[in-house]
Amino acid sequence: MQDCLKVVVAGDVDAGKSTLIGRFLYESGSVVDGAIANITESCRKQGNDFEFAYLLDSLEEERAGRLTIDTTQVFCRDKKGRQWLFIDVPGHRELFRNMLVGSSYADVAVLVVDAQRSLREQTKRHSQVLKFLGIRRFIVVINKMDTACYNKKIFLKEKERVSGFLRKIKIKPACCVPVSAKQGDNLFNNSRRTNWYKGATLIEALTITCRKPGGNNFRMPVQDVYKLEGKNIIAGRIIAGRIKAGEKVNILPSDEESRVKEIRVFKQNIPSAGFPENIGLILDNSEGLARGMILAKPRLPDVKTRVLAKIFCVYPLKIREGLRFKSATQNVAAHIKRIDAVWGTADLKARPKTGLLRQTDLAEIVIAVERPVVTERFEGGNTLGRFVLENKGREICAVGIIA
Amino acid sequence: MKNNPYLDELESKSIYIIREAYWEYKEKLAILWSMGKDSTVLAHLARKAFFGHLSLPVIHIDTGFKFKQIYEFRRKYAKIWDLDLRIARNAIALKRKISPVKDGRFACCSQLKTEALKQIIRKYRLRALLVAIRRDEHAIRAKERYFSARDKSFKWDYQNQPMELWAEHYKTNNQAGAHLRIHPLLHWREIDVWEYIKQEGLPVVDLYLSRHKKRYRSIGCQCCCQPIVSEANTINKIIKEIRDTNIAERSGRSQDKEREYMMQKLRSLGYM
Task: Report pLDDT digits (tens) over B14-58.
Answer: 999 999 999 999 999 999 999 999 999 999 999 999 999 998 999
* Whether A279 and A384 share a structural domain: no
Nearest CA in chain A to B141: A72
* Whether A306 and A290 share a structural domain: no
Residues of chain B in contact with residue A59, where contact means CB-CB under 8 angstroms, are: 140, 143, 158, 264
How many C-beta neighbours within 10 Å does residue B236 have? 11
* Whether A26 and A160 share a structural domain: yes
* Whether A89 and A226 share a structural domain: no
Name the residue among B9, B19, B261 with its Cβ closest to that of A224.
B19
Residue B196 lies in a domain: yes
Give me the interface pTM, i.e. the ipTM. 0.92
Contact call for residues B116 and B89 (beta carbons, < 8 A): yes
Nearest CA in chain B to A224: B23
Q: Structurally, how many domains does chain B consist of? A: 2
What's the pLDDT tens digit per position in A17-67?
Answer: 989 999 999 999 888 777 788 888 888 887 777 888 888 777 777 777 766
Taking an 8 Å cut-off on Cβ atoms, the answer to whether A75 and B4 are in contact is no
DSSP string, A195-225: TT--S--HHHHT---------SSEEEEEEEE
* Whether B173 and B202 share a structural domain: no
Residues 268-307 of A with CB under 8 A from B: 270, 276-278, 280, 291
**How many Å is the Cα radius of gyration of chain B?**
18
* Whether A292 and A387 share a structural domain: no
DSSP string, A65-95: HTS--S-EEEEEE-TT--EEEEEE---SGGG
* Whether B174 and B234 share a structural domain: no
Residue A200 lies in a domain: yes
Taking an 8 Å cut-off on Cβ atoms, the answer to whether B158 and A59 are in contact is yes
Determine the distance in angstroms separating the CA of A73 from the nearest CA of chain B, rounded to an integer.
Answer: 6
What's the pLDDT tens digit per position in A311-356?
Answer: 999 999 999 999 999 999 999 999 999 999 999 888 888 988 889 9
* CA–CA gap between residue A78 and residue A73 (Å, rounded): 17
Residues 53-92 of B with CB under 8 A from A: 53
Structural domain harbouring B96: 5-189
* Whether B120 and B212 share a structural domain: no
* Whether A292 and A182 share a structural domain: no
Strand order from edge to edge, sheet including A175-178: A72-77, A83-88, A4-11, A108-114, A137-143, A175-178
pLDDT band at A255 (very low <50, low <70, confident <90, very high): confident
Structural domain harbouring A370: 302-402
For an interface test with B, give the residue of A33, A58, A79, A386 to mutate (most B CBs within 10 A).
A58
Rounded to an integer, the average pLDDT of A299-310 is 97
Specify the 3-state DSSP secondary structure of B45. helix
Determine the distance in angstroms separating the CA of B86 from the nearest CA of chain A, rounded to an integer.
Answer: 24
Share of chain A above pLDDT 90, in %: 65
Q: Structurally, how many domains does chain A consist of? A: 3
pLDDT of residue A94: 66
Angle (CA) A103 A62 A145, round 5°: 70
